Amino acid sequence: MSSKKFIAFVGLFAFLIVGFVGGVNYVVDPFNIFHTKFLKEQFQRNERFMKIEYLEENHSKFNSYMFGSSRIGTTPPSVIDRYVKDAKFYNFTISSANLYDYLMHLKYFIKRGYPLHNLYIQIDIDNMNNFGRIDTDYLRKFHPFVKNEKLYNFYIAYLTGFFPFNIKGKVQVNIKQDDLVGYFIETGIWTRPKKEENIKINPLNFIKNEPSFNTKNLRNVKNTQSKNNLEALKEIASLSKKHGVNLIIFTTPHNKNMMDTFIIDDYLEFLKTISRVGEFYDFSGYNSITINNMNYYESSHYRENVGRLIAAKIFNDQTVDVPKDFGVLVTKENIEEHLQNLKEQIKAYDLN
């Protein structure tokens, strides 16, 4: 075979491979970028892309935002709307969000002139060792507009990428139709109807069969991103003040099984870092909500009822029966007392 024919053969082979990969990525659409819907049910979705895409057309419908990881995603915006005058919240829950995500999107909302009156931010404790995003994480890539990049290049990346795990997952979900996630772009929330049904039918059996509730965890999550988190939180507070945004900050009420993964001193230091920027509501620790597995789908995500209790505590709704040990308003003045109370709480929990 002559060199010219060999080069032509290699070129044709490469073209066919790229075309095949692109065709599979487009048809299966593992991250819901192209919205092809050949496979109806979604295994994973790039929420950072989907929600900016939606808000570019619909941001005039909202004037307030809920920022958080997937853990805030079970809370309907209407729960918060009722407490804040003239507010129309959108739940901007995005997978594995951290303070870098919040800052980047806040800057983008301001730049684009989105109406922005209130910002309701939930901070996960595991953010203490998590900051920033990597470009190879296709599930969590920013919408190109947020990073001032070309939409065309973004689509090409998702057409030509190699995603065997994500493609397999989506195919399996559509075949099995098991424990599907309900996703509602109009409000931003997600639901787990099958798990809700199982919890209501037999709660004890649900807890018994959920692996994450029955695993002994090691305390190995460290506070490695203190400086980055502090600077990002300061900038969020500064931008909010400059643009007249009512900023509400609170911590995630992590299930006790997840709390067991945090190095105690690092966890307490992270809370102290948050307090340096301003007041916040702390729902973390071992309280009557977090030690009750009934309030969670697994060790990572709380159910809708918990989101309602969080809001009732923050907005002092006396008509809702919020446990007395659930939620503390933390300030620069009471942070040391609060940390000492948490130490005693943790010690009592460990003894039990």
User: Residue ranges per domain, the chain?
Assistant: 57-131+178-351
The whole-angstrom separation of Cα 66 and Cα 75 is 9
In this predicted structure, what is the pLDDT of residue 351? 73
Q: Residue ranges of the alpha helices (H) in the chain? A: 3-28, 47-58, 77-81, 99-112, 151-160, 164-176, 193-201, 203-209, 226-242, 256-259, 264-275, 304-314, 335-351
Query: Structure tokens of 135?
Result: 């470009």
Tabulate helix, strand, coil % of the chain (nearest 5): 50, 10, 40
**Eight-state DSSP code of residue 296:** B
H or E element in which residue 183 lies: strand 182-184
Average pLDDT, the chain: 93
Task: Please determine, for residue 291, whether its predicted confidence score (pLDDT) is greater than 80.
Answer: yes
Task: Please determine, for residue 147, whether its predicted confidence score (pLDDT) is greater than 70.
Answer: yes
In this predicted structure, what is the pLDDT of residue 282? 98
Task: Please determine, for residue 13, whether its predicted confidence score (pLDDT) is greater than 50.
Answer: no
The C-alpha angle 298, 302, 308, rounded to 5 degrees, equals 160
CA distances from 201 to 61, 145, 205, 214 (A): 38, 45, 9, 20
Residues 142 and 48: beta-carbon distance below 8 Å: yes
Global pTM reads: 0.94
Residue tagged 């049910």 (tokens): 41
> 57-131+178-351 architecture in CATH?
3-Layer(aba) Sandwich (3.40)
Residues 75 and 307: beta-carbon distance below 8 Å: yes
**Eight-state DSSP code of residue 121:** E
In this predicted structure, what is the pLDDT of residue 18? 56
Task: Please determine, for residue 4, whether its predicted confidence score (pLDDT) is greater than 80.
Answer: no
Residues 70 and 190: beta-carbon distance below 8 Å: yes
